[in-house]
A and B are shown apart, each in its own frame.
Chain A
Amino acid sequence: MSIALRGVTKQFGAFTAVDDVELTVPTGGMIALLGPSGCGKTTVLRIIAGLEAPDAGQVLFDGRDATAWPIRDRKVGFVFQNYALFRHMTVFENVAFGLKVKSRHERPSAAEIRKKVQSLLDLVQLGWTGGRYPAQLSGGQKQRVALARALAVDPEVLLLDEPFGALDAQVRHELRRWLRRLHAELKFTCIFVTHDQQEAIEVADTIVVLNRGRIEQSGIPGAVYDEPSSAFVHRFLGQVNELPVTWRDGRPHAGPLDITGDTGQGDAGRAGEAGRAGPAGEAAAEIVLVRPHEIDIGPESAGWPAVVRAVRVIGPIVRIELCAEGRSPHEPLEAEVSREQFEQQHYRVGQTVGVRFRRWQIYPASVVPRPTDAAA
């Protein structure tokens, strides 16, 4: 089932949780609603489920206006962040609930229910837990029971609110893979909410980034990561270094460094942006965002001189903290290099190196708030 939101708006008192959202989810799509807490992503999900009514706009299911449909009629499976398993029922009874509450002429026979529940529990690899109570399961097991329970009524859409938020990293990683497999197998339309960009990139085929109730950007994960349309998205997906831009001779500079880098190694893709006339002399009217792995570290003469402050080896990558000349020591630059490069160059703490930006993006400074401000 395809889902579309047309101009959906929802207010809670004076707070606009969802602001004129347009969203189309194709049948069988796997969409991540990504954003910081308070950005309205859960409200969007609840509006699709029918748990919340929009103040304005339409919710379309397969092109039909479903805005006023009651929850029961939407054929939507909703899985809560805390799983919301019925604690007084066994795992089996939990999964069977949606089948048992059907009206008499729709309800399968007891034997059919038993068969279906067992096959669902086998599907989520928990066939042996039927007689247990939720309190006897681990977090990851509870999550899978909640999924099985939602799948029992054959929903055409599965809505997941922070599906793996409360799990430890290992289990989370496993469940993400498992959810992808399940989705490939059953081909339901799936929308999930997350504040974890890693999760969104790993699981979804489309990412929708929300900020202050509005959609900032949507697209396939790689595109959103590589071509952020705003400083907010740039900051929210992955780490960034942020520097004020000053314009000299019509070229953007960060500190003494000409960002466009006249060395022939720079990313020419940004030249158009760099070439325009800047507001000369106005400090911090613009900022440049650079991801740690987009920073080049070379000899001191070839770039912005910076002192290596700390080196941390994290498996295949090495994170290097740099204090660039003329910048406060409290605002270090973070660079990431591959283990191989690190082992060749062997940067040491205290050493002075030269920093250049391989890839960057310039944004107006004050228009877009930082992700951390968005909740306020």
Chain B
Amino acid sequence: MNAPVPGLAASYEEPKARSLSGRNPRRQFRWGRLLLITLALAFLTAFLLLPLLVVFTQALAKGVSAYLAAIVDPMAWASIKLTLWVAAIAVPMNVVFGVAAAWAISKFEFRGKSALVTLIDLPFAVSPVIAGLSYLLLFGARGWFGPFLQAHDIRIVFAVPGIVLATIFVTFPFVARELIPVMQALGKDDEETALSLGASGWQTFWHVTLPNIRWGLMYGVLLCNARAMGEFGAVSVVSGHIRGLTNTMPLHVEILYNEYNYVAAFAVASLLALLALVTLAGKSILEWRQPELRDGARRWRDNNRKGKV
């Protein structure tokens, strides 16, 4: 799902034979190629670039000072802090869950393994609103655990714990999904070698497994983080929209927008958009970094061929 899509031009192969009619078959291809590229670019512009541009122009419509004022507004600031907090809790937890799940799935054989793989995908399949609602039904005042939580004065729904839970649910697949194929491709040989050399399980994970999966892990963390900060649906249901207390950035944007406060809404939205851009840049760097490392090693080796025994 995340493999860089090769350019259309790159997947186009030179036709080797001319068609029977004697016309150059490449010409027919060229029109199709142009059409496809134009379509893709037009689509991207209309549905991705323009909206992004609108966010930033709207945010700066009344000048930089209005933009800054909207961001340093105490309510906006509170939502930014809450969003960072939620991500800071949800992402590490999902890293731990994700690595554990990926480890179990890729290194061991056990009953119910395919069920576990399917379950990991569940948050992708289920609407986030339903995720939020299910937490409401579990932990809300009239939910299953409602009386118990009330008796012990624990607030989950309409409070920060609920937001964190909803975010964890929605972002659960990212790390695991990134790591499972990586770890499956790596196999068990490295780990088994480490064990036979006398390493403990923990040493094996720390010195052998983790370095092998670090790029995939970072990639998963990036995607997980982007989604954690941007999640709206699930969080909206359990948040209660208490300004300054349970409003995350996406929720705050919606409130401002509904109050016709466009500059402020788009100013906060631009921060989220910026985050998305940073995530994409980070993702590109990671993708670029891995082949670069490999190429570097290959060049190194070629230079040293003379020294070979």
**A positions within 8 Å CB-CB of B:** 49-51, 71-72, 74, 76-78, 80, 82, 84, 86-89, 97-98, 101-102, 125-126, 128, 132-133, 135-138, 140-141, 149-150, 152-153
Chain A positions within 8 Å of B193 at CB level:
78, 80, 84, 86, 149
Chain B positions within 8 Å of A150 at CB level:
196-197
The 3 closest A-B pairs by CB, nearest first: A98-B197, A84-B189, A136-B301
Q: Which of B211, B301, B308, B309 contacts A88 (CB 8 A)?
A: B211
Q: How far is the CB of A41 from chain B (nearest CB, A)?
A: 17
B190 within 8 A of A: yes
B112 within 8 A of A: no
Chain B positions within 8 Å of A133 at CB level:
297
A101 touches B197 (CB 8 A): yes
- Within the assembled complex, what's the spacing in Å between the Cα atoms of A133 and B297? 8
Report the nearest B residue to A84, measured CB to CB: B189
B106-144 to A contact mask, C-beta < 8 Å, 1/0: 000000000000000000000000000000000000000
Chain A positions within 8 Å of B297 at CB level:
133, 135-136
- Within the assembled complex, what's the spacing in Å between the Cα atoms of A88 and B300? 15
- Within the assembled complex, what's the spacing in Å between the Cα atoms of A135 and B307? 15
B189 touches A82 (CB 8 A): yes
Q: How far is the CB of B307 from chain A (nearest CB, A)?
A: 7
Interface size on B, residues (CB 8 A): 25
Q: Which of B199, B200, B294, B298 contacts A97 (CB 8 A)?
A: B199
Quick one: which of B272-309 are within 8 Å of A by CB? 294, 297-298, 300-301, 304, 307-309
- Within the assembled complex, what's the spacing in Å between the Cα atoms of A153 and B308? 27
Report the nearest B residue to A78, measured CB to CB: B196
Q: Which of A77, A84, A87, A101 contacts B192 (CB 8 A)?
A: A84
B197 touches A97 (CB 8 A): yes
Chain A positions within 8 Å of B189 at CB level:
80, 82, 84
Most central of B190, B198, B297, B308 by chain A CB within 10 Å: B198
Chain B positions within 8 Å of A140 at CB level:
309
A72-B198, A141-B309 are known; give 20 further A-B pairs, CB within 8 A: A51-B192, A71-B192, A71-B196, A77-B197, A80-B189, A80-B193, A84-B189, A86-B194, A89-B211, A97-B194, A97-B197, A97-B199, A101-B199, A101-B200, A102-B198, A125-B309, A132-B304, A133-B297, A149-B193, A150-B196
Q: Which of A49, A84, A101, A138 contacts B198 (CB 8 A)?
A: A101
Q: Which of A82, A88, A137, A153 contacts B197 (CB 8 A)?
A: A153
B212 within 8 A of A: yes
Q: How far is the CB of B100 from chain A (nearest CB, A)?
A: 21
Report the nearest B residue to A74, measured CB to CB: B196
A72 touches B195 (CB 8 A): yes
B191-215 to A contact mask, C-beta < 8 Å, 1/0: 0111111111001000110011000
Chain B positions within 8 Å of A149 at CB level:
193, 197
- Within the assembled complex, what's the spacing in Å between the Cα atoms of A138 and B309? 9
Q: How far is the CB of A203 from chain B (nearest CB, A)?
A: 21
> Can you give 11 A-B contacts (C-beta < 8 A)?
A51-B195, A74-B196, A78-B192, A82-B189, A87-B212, A97-B197, A101-B199, A101-B200, A126-B309, A136-B304, A149-B193
- Within the assembled complex, what's the spacing in Å between the Cα atoms of A153 and B198? 8
- Within the assembled complex, what's the spacing in Å between the Cα atoms of A140 and B192? 21
Q: How far is the CB of A111 from chain B (nearest CB, A)?
A: 20
Q: How far is the CB of B185 from chain A (nearest CB, A)?
A: 13
Q: Which of B196, B212, B307 contacts A77 (CB 8 A)?
A: B196
- Within the assembled complex, what's the spacing in Å between the Cα atoms of A289 and B193? 42
Q: Which of A78, A89, A135 contacts B298 (CB 8 A)?
A: A135
- Within the assembled complex, what's the spacing in Å between the Cα atoms of A56 and B208? 32
Q: Which of B192, B195, B196, B208 contacts A86 (CB 8 A)?
A: B208
B308 touches A138 (CB 8 A): yes
- Within the assembled complex, what's the spacing in Å between the Cα atoms of A30 and B186? 31
Chain B positions within 8 Å of A137 at CB level:
301
- Within the assembled complex, what's the spacing in Å between the Cα atoms of A49 and B297? 33
Chain B positions within 8 Å of A78 at CB level:
192-193, 196
Chain B positions within 8 Å of A125 at CB level:
309
Chain B positions within 8 Å of A77 at CB level:
196-197
Chain A positions within 8 Å of B199 at CB level:
72, 97-98, 101
B207 touches A101 (CB 8 A): yes
- Within the assembled complex, what's the spacing in Å between the Cα atoms of A101 and B211? 16
